Structure 1
């Protein structure tokens, strides 16, 4: 009987890692006419008009009954306009990050986008959030953590002190029956994780080690998760997204050819320890 060797890949999503060709990774590819006609992005900001590059007053907003009765606002350069849009972006994001240790992550991510490097983003806070999400998920029907634990306990060859390689599919099936960790819970709408990550793009799960004793085992599992901090056309055409000014500003900053701020990949990693006893499966 051949024993499982490590590291052992247990799961990979169909969407690939480091996918810079994804639709939500495009930038600077849309004109003013497209933004207005195809996406109805006329009322973008309360502070500045990104198309005319003029500052706005409360009376100059499209929905104001006094619109048209004011003197034109101050003309500004595109760089100044972008700074104002990013400041409003940060301000609006605070409504989705009201409490908890992760509430400042979205501010860091907006600043990273404003830097316009396009480099991947990493945060110890997001790594911690992923780990806590995984180990605290007590839903036996969906938790990948609990399902891996159950599969290990049931299929370890205790007599030979190994996990048979021919039963690797049991571990793979256990994950496929679970639900991958995502930040789409109710609390994530207010703790900053929902706006910073929410859904995820790609996930890899790897069993990196397994130590088997006479009556217990200890395994380490690595979760590698990627998300894209960017919006595609379907996002902004979703009524839920388009109704929030935050997303309208985000989309214009990213996709309007005058700005073209680069989206980026968010890397999130967590190493999880899983332990169990020989009698766990009885």
Structure 2
């Protein structure tokens, strides 16, 4: 019986890397009337009216006690598209605070918003994001979490006599990983306030590679690399959901990305982590 040779990719999600065909990667494709009628995006900002490119005053601000005093007349200054977008991005920085006010990764959202504003769709990578990804892998110990599934199935099929992992068991390992819960940032509380829930939340595509496997008479140790990629963009199904539509942060984001006057390009977010997993006979 031959052993598998490492390094080796043992799992890749069906959702592919570098996928620009999804709805959340579209930009500048929706006109005003659809944004208003289909998605109910009427009151977007407390600072500007993006549809008319007008700065709001106390008489226009939907949060103000004076709102509507002058009917539909906007009394603020007219803005250029660039000026209006700048004010909306500044407002996003402020409205992101309730989702990102604790922990070492809370400033990632600021960097990703700058990437959305300035990069024209260039991929995003940050060492702090890799750390968050590694921490997530180490923090999840539920029965079906990927790290646990790897540990249990490697240990189940290790060939101690030949000091390796049988090549014909790779398919069983891949099948077990397919049914596992892949790492993502969706914890019930922490990811909602540490910034990871709005920067990543889900991970669109994942690849798992065993870089090295060492086996002796009584134990084994493997070096595993996880590579994840997400889309920093909103699709129409997102904004239709109450959990997104109710928050000003996401309404502004959707308008900046999808409104045909703006069209800021979403981008791919890349992360990678290498962890050790070990077990005994």
TM-score using structure 1 length: 0.94
The equivalent residue for 1:276 is 279
CA contact (8 A) 2:54 2:74 kept: no
Matched, 1:149 2:151: yes
Of residues 67, 72, 78, the one that matches 1:75 is: 78
Cα offsets for 1:194-236 (capped at 9, x unmatched): 0110112111111121111222222111111111000011111
- Distance in 2 between residues matched to 1:222 and 1:105, nearest whole Å: 22
- Distance in 1 between residues matched to 2:88 and 2:69, nearest whole Å: 22
Cα offsets for 1:233-258 (capped at 9, x unmatched): 11111111111111110001001111
The equivalent residue for 1:9 is 9
Of residues 173, 176, 179, the one that matches 1:177 is: 179
The equivalent residue for 1:223 is 226
Of residues 101, 119, 122, the one that matches 1:98 is: 101
**Structure 1 residues 1-282: aligned runs within 5 Å:** 1-62=1-62, 66-69=67-70, 72-139=75-142, 141-185=143-187, 186-278=189-281
TM-score using structure 2 length: 0.94
- Distance in 2 between residues matched to 1:56 and 1:7, nearest whole Å: 58
- Distance in 1 between residues matched to 2:47 and 2:31, nearest whole Å: 21
Which structure 1 residue ranges, 5 or more long, are not aligned?
none
CA contact (8 A) 1:31 1:257 kept: yes
- Distance in 1 between residues matched to 2:160 and 2:98, nearest whole Å: 52
CA contact (8 A) 2:105 2:129 kept: yes
Which structure 2 residue ranges, 5 or more long, are not aligned?
none
**Number of residue pairs aligned between Structure 1 and Structure 2:** 277
Name the Cα RMSD after superposition. 1.5
